[in-house]
Amino acid sequence: VLVRPKEEGYELIAGERRLRAAKKLCFTQLPAIIKDVEDAEALQLALIENIQREELNSLEEAQAYQRLISEFGFTQEKIARLMGKDPSSVSNTLRLLKLPQEIQAALRKGMISMGHARTILGLRSLTEQGRIFKRTIAKQLSVRELENLVTQGLGAVKRKRQRGRDPHLVALEEQLQQILGTKVKIIAGRKRGRVILEYYSVSDLERIINLLKSVK
């Protein structure tokens, strides 16, 4: 465990699970690393350990990521390296914070899963997100059933929007979305066009830029 000295003993910074396990086994001693750190660094270390706890739910993980970004200047790439995850995974987890509070509360309580939340995030309209969420709860839809419902609903809209669009451009959009881990829109003109990339935070934008720089 990691502790820091205090006036009346030591304060635990990291290793809460080990300490709990030691108490259950009635251990009276536990190896510890003593490190004199400031409050900010102690909070950072505690946050990182908290993220690594297996019992942390997806929304709590997203909130911890956001604190590392906003309070300690972490980028999504730095968090991904620290946690041994793909940057797109960190980005997708952070997107959960953009869900309406009602849906976040349901995810926190276990009423819906991460799979449900990610599927609902695919809907652009908050009104549509709320409508689909309520139907998911009322019908107790599985993730697969929800995906089918959203696909069927969006299919008609996409067919209207994409009528007359070049299938090659549509395929390129899908490829770019898979590579960059974000929504992509290609708008073609007669001689020139535009590629619109969505990002959800400054660190997410930096992640996309780094991905583009790495392409040779």
Give catalytic residues, as residue numbers: 16
Decide: 3 and 36 in contact? Cβ < 8 Å: no
Separation CA 24–CA 56 (nearest Å): 21
Burial class (CB in 10 A: 0-12, 13-18, 19+), 26: exposed
Print burial letters for 176-200: b (CB count within 10 Å at least 16), e (below 16): beeebbbebebeeeeeeeeeeeebb
Decide: 58 and 114 in contact? Cβ < 8 Å: yes
